[in-house]
Amino acid sequence: MSDKKPLTMRDIAKAAGVSAATVSLVLNGKGEISGATRAKVLDVVADLNYVPRPARVRAPDGANDTLRFLKIAKHGHTVNRDHSHFISDYIDGMSQEATRRGYSLEVVSHERETIQGIVQSLAATGVKGVVALGTELSEADIRLLLTTGIPTVFIDTFHELIDANFVNMNNEDAVYKVLSRFKSQGFQDIGFVASPVETTNFGLRRQAFTKNMLRLDLPIREENTLWVESTFDGAYEATAQHLASGGKLAECYFCTNDVIAYGFIKALREHNIRIPADVSIIGFDNLPMSVTMDPPLTTIDVSKRKIGYLAITILDDLINASELQPPVKILVGADLVVRSSDKQAKRRKPLLPSTGKDPSDKGEAA
């Protein structure tokens, strides 16, 4: 078995058809390099998964004491105003810890910008470190952001095989708590409101659902997975279409996040399906509206402030280290906040979508 040699700047230069000096200038944000050449080099860097390792980890002596939080919305399906609350919680946790450690924190929003553009803008700054919101970032995006050489921590995403620093929620633990709750209530017919939107956490929750259903010896039924867009309107429309076409419902559902749960619930109500009398529901995120809606939503809560605090703690260690540090990857545990949207199972026949009633029901009170 032969060992694979790590990539060098010369390898990148050869693949991009430029000189090694040009690659160095692009990765360091220097020189008068044309936009086309810069983009070509960065594309090759992403395609070959090249991550340069800077000779020193400390920020230059001339750098200020500013840290930057990159709020990146590549497509806006998940990073949008519906989720502004939990992003604010991230910022609160970061800001408090940054201030305590003698830094100032600046927040910069990037909406539908290219990662190459963000990399170029970072290269011109004197920030000491970066926390990047990774919700909508791909592996290639993360690798590109690493080319800046600036100490960086990614939050709200997680990749086991990338040599980078991550702080994320423990999705597997969280979904296990949801499914354990349903099982303890006597449910076997368990559904999942999933989203095809490509975010790492959505993918991890889909994997966790399958893995934990098997772990808990619960039957997985393909027809019990309802695919919806990750917005309120998208979840509502897909659910309404499912019900209008005569689709059946499971006894209970885990929704990928609270916003999806809100749209799902709205469609159920319009078809006279009662929550939790007919269908029990558990969400994920514990957004403020979850406690005020009728009925209040049982949901997963992960401390976003804790994630923000940990990101700054790791970043400070990176900035002040005298030598290259190994990647740090932290998963923060979750709590199940029990409210009123789920209840003990009862034996039901399949619901009639148009009425939400058991076919044999003679008139149960709401």
Is 236 contained in some domain?
yes
Instruction: Give the full edge-to-edge strand order of the sheet including 190-194.
Output: 225-227, 190-194, 252-255, 280-284, 298-301, 335-337
Residue 295 preceded by cis peptide, ω within 30: yes
DSSP state of 55: S
CATH code, domain carrying 25: 1.10.260.40
On whether both 92 and 176 belong to a single domain, the answer is no
Q: What is the CATH number of the domain that holds 323?
A: 3.40.50.2300
Q: Which two tokens stand for residue 281?
A: 């529901």
Same domain for 317 and 261:
no
pLDDT of 20? 72
- Containing structural domain, residue 70: 58-169+306-333
SS3 66: strand
Better pLDDT: 158 or 53: 158
Whether 353 maps to a domain, the answer reads: no
Average pLDDT of the chain? 87
Is residue 254, in this structure, part of any structural domain at all? yes
Bridge partners (DSSP) listed for residue 133 = 155
295 shares a domain with 315: no
Residues 327, 44, 112, 93: what is their CA dihedral angle, to the nearest 10 degrees?
A: 10
Distance (Å, rounded) from C-alpha 252 to C-alpha 344? 10
In a shared domain, residues 94 and 186: no
The reply to whether 102 and 189 lie within a common domain is: no
**Are the beta carbons of 309 and 69 closer than 8 angstroms?**
no
Looking at the structure, tell me whether residues 258 and 326 fall in a common domain.
no
| 162/311 same-domain check | yes
What pLDDT, on the 0 to 100 scale, is given for residue 328? Answer: 97
Report yes or no on 348 lying in a domain. Answer: no
Region 138-159: what's the mean pLDDT?
Answer: 95
* Mean pLDDT value of segment 246-270: 97
**Token representation of residue 316:** 């400070």
* Structural domain includes residue 138: yes
- pLDDT value for 283: 98
DSSP state of 255: E
**Domain termination residue (choose one: 262, 281, 302):** 302
**Has residue 351 been placed in a domain?**
no
State the pLDDT confidence band at 248, using cuts at 50, 70 and 90.
Answer: very high
Q: Are residues 68 and 23 in the same domain?
A: no
Together in a domain, 129 and 193: no
> Residue 55 has what pLDDT?
40
- In the predicted model, what is the mean pLDDT of residues 228-234? 94
Judgement on whether residues 98 and 15 belong to the same structural domain of the protein: no
Q: How many domains does the chain have?
A: 3
Q: How far apart are the first and last CA of the chain?
A: 68
Whether residues 191 and 180 fall in one domain? yes
More confident call, 120 vs 174: 174
d(CA 332, CA 162): 19
Residue 253 lies in a domain: yes
- Per the domain annotation, does 148 fall within a domain? yes
In this structure, what are the phi and psi dihedrals at residue 83, rounded to the nearest 5 degrees?
-110, 20
- pLDDT at residue 264 tops 80: yes
The pTM (predicted TM-score) of the whole model is: 0.79
Residue 57 has pLDDT above 90, yes or no: no
Judgement on whether residues 310 and 321 belong to the same structural domain of the protein: yes
Task: Examine the fold and report which residue of 302, 322, 350 is the final residue of a domain before the chain moves on.
Answer: 302
